[in-house]
A and B are shown apart, each in its own frame.
Chain A
Amino acid sequence: MPTQELERFEQFEEDMMWINQQFEDLKARYPDEFIAVYRGEVIAHGADHSRVIAQAQARLDIEISEIAVKFIPAGEFAVVL
């Protein structure tokens, strides 16, 4: 893997961990919204996933496929797979 892509993967991992660590705060600020996070900053948010990734892509010069995007539920939320 090219070094730059490896660095972007590490950044993605850091941003996913940042979301997990900040989850309670994010629930209060962005209930039932999708958030896009890059370098520990919420760069786009909203209820419409398509719109959020479009807004995030417009702010970045890297592909949205390499950005952490996650749904933040308002309350308790259990995923039953």
Chain B
Amino acid sequence: MIIPGYWSPVGYPAVLARLECRYPYARGFIEFALDTGSPFTILSQMDAERLKIAYSKMDKPPAPIAVGGFEGAVYIMKEVNLWFRESKHTEKLESIYVIPEKNELQGIIPLPSILGRNFLNKYNVIFEKGQGSIIITDQSFQLLA
């Protein structure tokens, strides 16, 4: 399995995926920034709005989390499927976090959605900035001889 990515013009590595969730219902296409520093996968406020997600149907995690300078309550979307077209790979995530519709960063910094370690830790991620390429793969590599 190889999921190809690309470098965003503002410098972050990214992949495109189709997101689907049954409850709350959500379906749409998302650009995710790859972030090995984030333990969670996170849907941005902008993408949540574009997917018309019903916040009232989601739970909140037991403790606040900090995301890119935003610290506060988020929502949890459970049993989310991400589908990647070229690899035809489907990833079932137990949960992802969703930034609330009103937060102190809204209108200041439009953060991207994030693909975090709850996804990335299952695979190998290769960044080749010089070549402009990024791949996520289940193949293993021997890094040191």
Contact B10 A78 (CB under 8 A): yes
Q: What sequence of 0s and 1s flags, for each residue 1-40 of chain B, a beta carbon within 8 Å of any chain A beta carbon?
A: 0000010111110001010000000111101010101100
Q: Are A65 and B114 in contact (CB under 8 A)?
A: no
Q: Given B9, B85, B112, which contacts A9 in the complex, CB threshold below 8 Å?
A: B85
User: Given A9-B85, A12-B16, A65-B28, do A81 and B33 touch, yes or no (CB 8 Å)?
Assistant: yes
0/1 string, A37-70, CB within 8 A of B gives 1 = 0000000000001100100000000011111111
Using C-beta atoms within 8 Å of the partner chain, give the interface range for chain B. 20 to 34
Q: Within residues 100 to 139 of chain B, which ones have a CB less than 8 A from any CB in chain A?
A: 110-112, 114
Contact (Cβ within 8 A) A66 B28: yes
Question: Chain A residues near B28 (CB, 8 Å)?
Answer: 63, 65-66
When C-beta atoms are compared, the residue in chain B nearest to A17 turns out to be: B6
Contact residues in B for A6 (Cβ distance below 8 Å): 85
* Given known A64-B50, A66-B28, contact A81–B114 (CB-CB < 8 A): yes
Whole-angstrom distance between the Cβ of B17 and the nearest chain A Cβ: 9
* Minimal Cβ-Cβ distance residue in B for A10: B85
26 A-B pairs with CB atoms under 8 Å apart are A1-B18, A8-B29, A9-B18, A9-B29, A10-B85, A12-B16, A17-B6, A19-B9, A20-B9, A49-B110, A53-B49, A53-B50, A65-B27, A65-B29, A65-B52, A66-B29, A67-B50, A68-B29, A77-B10, A78-B10, A78-B11, A79-B12, A79-B68, A79-B111, A79-B112, A81-B33
* Residues of B that sit less than 8 Å from A by CB: 6, 8-12, 16, 18, 26-29, 31, 33, 35, 37-38, 46, 49-52, 68, 83, 85, 110-112, 114
Question: Could you list which residues of chain A lie within 8 angstroms of chain B, going by C-beta atoms?
Answer: 1, 5-6, 8-10, 12-13, 16-17, 19-20, 23, 34, 49-50, 53, 63-71, 73, 77-81
